[in-house]
Amino acid sequence: MKNKPLITLIAVLMSTSVFAVTMPLEPVSIVAEKQLAQLKSNIGIFEKNVEIVHGKRKIKADRLEVHRREEMGENAELLVATGNPAVFQETQDDGSILKATAKEVRYDVANRLLTIKGGAEISQAGQKINAEVIVYDMEKQLISAERGNESQSRVRTILVPEQKDKSKEQGNP
């Protein structure tokens, strides 16, 4: 049957749902110019102008690998997006957008761990961190950034002061 690899790949992706940890009922949409499935190793590969959307999360990349790790149980996907740059974007509960860009963006679904490497930048609400490698533990809300062994540039952080609403300060509604 010609469509078996494609059907199997879709079943693998949807059975555990790429982002099911936090959004179990949302559909996953993956669009690319080319897709492959390595059935024995449980890897889905999407190439050329890749876009994946799941609820509040989006990934754009030149290439996306979806690794399903059965030994880790449900929600054990590892997404590896590469590009120039690859982009991970998530709308937060407060409406702000968390955006991460780098040559490589890795998202460990089960552990909610985002690792970006190679000209990495993570930004939200005007705040930015630039480094060679940035690791963001979404569960603990912990960001770690380092310059990398080969890089001469240091970690750069830009903090934007919070703007106060002057009309409320002056007693105006």
Query: Using one digit for the tens of pLDDT, what is the confidence trace for 57-109?
Result: 899 999 998 887 665 555 557 889 999 999 999 888 888 898 999 999 998 88
Spell out the domain ranges in the chain.
Answer: 4-167
Question: Within 13 Å and on the Cβ side, how many CA atoms surround 45?
Answer: 6
Residue 151: predicted pLDDT: 62
DSSP 23: -
Q: Does domain 4-167 have CATH number 2.60.450.10?
A: yes
8 Å CB contact between 28 and 14 = yes
Supply the mean pLDDT for the chain.
77
What does the block give as tokens for 60? Answer: 């754009």
Single pTM value for the model: 0.72
The rounded distance, in Å, linking the Cα atoms of 82 and 79 is 10
Beta strands (DSSP E) in the chain are 28-31, 34-38, 43-54, 57-68, 77-91, 97-108, 113-124, 127-137, 142-146, 156-158
Closest CA to 12 of 88, 65, 86, 89: 65
